[in-house]
Amino acid sequence: MPETVIRAHKLTKRFGPFVAVDAISFEVSKGEIFGFLGANGAGKTTAMRMLCGLSTPSSGEAVIAGYDIYSQTEKIKKRIGYMSQKFSLYDDLTVLENIRFFAGIYGLSATQIKLKTEELITRLGLEQETKKMVAALPLGWKQKLSFSVSILHEPKIVFLDEPTSGVDPVTRRQFWDLIYQAAAQGITIFLTTHYMDEAEYCNRISIMVDGKIVALDTPHRLKQHFNASSMDDVFYQLARGAQRQE
C-alpha cells in the first residue's frame, strides 16, 4: 500500500449560511497526480486553501503530509509547495534572485540553496537568463520556473492552481513532463485545470459541483461509468446542473 499523504474526511467550510465546501472526503497517495476539477464557484479554491493550511475548516478532519489541518498548519506549510498562475514569481526580481528568495523562504540552508539553484538552472536550460528580470521571460518559461521553484524544498505535496492557463500547447506538454518527473520522485501532485485533455494525464480525478465531490475515480473508469467518449463529456454531464457560479 502506498503511503497516504492527503486524507480528508467530511471537510466543510461555511461562510455564514453559505456552504462553500460541503463535507468532502477523499485520499491521495504518495506520488499520485490528482486532478481536482469543478465548475467556477464549485468550491475548489476554498478547499485548496484549507488543504494548504491557509483557512480553518468549519468542520470535518484532514491530515496533510502527516499533520493535522487544525493544529499543525505551520508544519503543513513547510512540507507543501504551491503555485498558481496568479501567484508565482516576482516579476521585478531576476531569475536567480527569485530562486534564492523562495529557497530561503522554504528554509533551505545556504549550501543547499547554492546546490539546488545550479541544478535547477541547468535542468531548465536557463544559464543565459539568470540575470534577467522574470518579467522579461515568456509566460511558458515563467510557469516552468515557478513550478520548479515550488518543489525546490522537496515537499511531500505540491498544489498547482490552473498552472497551465494561457500557455501554448507545446509548453503545456513540457510543463506536464516536469509534473511527471516530480511525481516519479515521489512528490504528490494536486492540481486544478480547465483543460479537459489534462484531466486525462492525472492518475485520478475528482469533480466538484456546488461544494460537493460528485465523482472521483480514474479518467478511464469515469468515462466508462458515465458512458462518455471524453473527459469533456463527463464534466459536462456532471457540471451542467450546477446551481451556483463563482
Partner 1 sequence: MQTVILEHISKTYGKEISPAVNDVSFAVNKGELFGLIGPDGAGKTSLFRILTTLILPDTGKASVDGFDIVRDYKKIRNTVGYMPGRFSLYQDLSVEENLNFFATLFNTTVAKNYDLIKDIYVQIEPFKKRRAGKLSGGMKQKLALSCALIHQPTVLFLDEPTTGVDPVSRKEFWEMLDRLKASGITILVSTPYMDEAARCDRIALMHHGKILSIETPANMIAAFPDPIYAIKASNMPSLLQQLNAYEGVKSSYAFGEYAHVLLNESTGGENNLKLYLSGKGFTDIEMTLTQPTIEDWFIKLLNS
Binding site for partner 1 (CB under 8 A): 38-41, 138-140, 162, 165-171, 173, 176, 180, 184, 194-197, 200-201, 219-220, 230-232, 235-236, 239-240, 242, 244-246
CB-nearer residue toward partner 1: 24 or 69: 24
- Count of all residues that appear for the chain in the document: 246
By CB atoms closer than 10 A (0-12, 13-18, 19+), residue 83 is buried
CB-nearer residue toward partner 1: 196 or 214: 196
What's the rounded Cα separation, in Å, for the pair 186 and 141? 24
Place of cell 461544494: 211
CB-nearer residue toward partner 1: 80 or 187: 187
CB-nearer residue toward partner 1: 84 or 98: 84
Nearest distance from residue 243's CB to partner 1, in Å? 12
Nearest distance from residue 104's CB to partner 1, in Å? 29
Nearest distance from residue 155's CB to partner 1, in Å? 21
Nearest C-alpha neighbor of 98 from the set 145, 162, 154: 145
CB-nearer residue toward partner 1: 107 or 169: 169
Which three three-digit cell numbers place residue 46? 476554498
Angle value at C-alpha 198, between 237 and 224, nearest 5 degrees = 45
Nearest distance from residue 115's CB to partner 1, in Å? 27
Nearest distance from residue 30's CB to partner 1, in Å? 16
In this structure, the number of other CB atoms found within 10 A of the CB of residue 245 comes to: 8
CA distances for 7 relative to 44, 78, 202, 227, angstroms:
16, 18, 18, 29
Classify residue 42 by its DSSP letter.
Answer: S
Nearest distance from residue 18's CB to partner 1, in Å? 13
CB-nearer residue toward partner 1: 72 or 230: 230
Place of cell 468549519: 58
